[in-house]
Amino acid sequence: MLIIIENLLSADEVAQFRESLADAEWRDGAGTAGTRSVAVKQNLQLPRQNALAQRLSDEILRKLGQHPEFLSASLAEKIWPPVFNLYQDGGHYGTHSDAALMRLPEAGLTIRSDLSATLFLSEPDSYDGGELIVEEQFGAQPVKLAAGDMVLYPSSSLHQVAPVTRGQRICAISWIQSAVADTSARSLLYDLDQSIRALTPDREKDDPEINRLIHVYHNLLRRWAQP
């Protein structure tokens, strides 16, 4: 299931991010690829220890922590600090899967990757190619979003980034450990929560049917959440 989070960053915030990244010290992204992924990865990244990367990453984390739809869709317990990458001149990332466990030694943190997230920072008409292609149950789904929008997708899925043949594709990527590891259960909870949110404004504050739906939601979450 792909979930689009629109306008995580405003147009002004995107412009500020791109201005900050214009003179960034990009490095070969192969250094962070696994032993098999390194053969299909051709991009540039900012090192996690880079001061600019850390500052912008913290800004994204603050946004995510305050975004109701992201919290509903992810049920996030841990979030890997966003990593910034750049694709240009044919840069691409062939079909691969994300590591199930990701370790951040400097923070003493280990994350089980339940969800992957890509936040687009380049406008789609500023580059050719560069689609994120996620293989789902019903076939491959290409994703190319407006700057400031984010897509969430299961980390268990095979995915790739198509070659960028014109311009630059700049994104921030992250991984999330959810309180509910099972993708199907998490999707059901998200659908139920979205329905509750849609129905609530037209009902009285103490509407018994809304209260019953909230009761069902939390009991399902209680059943499926992992301690």
The domain ranges of the chain are: 3-178, 183-224
Mean pLDDT of 22-36: 77
Look up the CATH architecture of domain 3-178: Sandwich (2.60)
Q: What is the pTM of this model?
A: 0.92
Of 170, 143, 174, 145, the closest CA to residue 63 belongs to 174
Confidence of residue 52 (pLDDT cuts 50, 70, 90): very high
Sort residue 90 into left (φ over 0), alpha (ψ -120 to 50) or beta. left
Instruction: Return the structure tokens found at 189.
Output: 């909870």
CA 162, CA 142: separation in Å to the nearest integer?
Answer: 9
For residue 38, pLDDT over 90 is answered with no
Phi, psi of 208 (to 5 degrees): -65, -30
**55 annotated ligand-binding residue:** no
Q: Where are the alpha helices (DSSP H) in the chain?
A: 11-21, 51-65, 68-74, 183-199, 208-224
CA distance 57 to 84: 8
Annotated ligand binding at 98? The verdict is yes
Whether pLDDT at 14 is above 90: yes
Would the annotation count 112 as a binding residue?
A: no
**CA dist., res. 7 & res. 45, Å (int):** 23
Q: What topology does CATH give the domain 183-224?
A: DNA Excision Repair, Uvrb; Chain A (4.10.860)
Mean pLDDT of 170-199: 96
Pick the more confident residue, 106 or 45.
45
pLDDT at 104: 87
Three-state DSSP class for 58? helix
159 carries a ligand binding annotation? yes
Average pLDDT over residues 110-121: 97
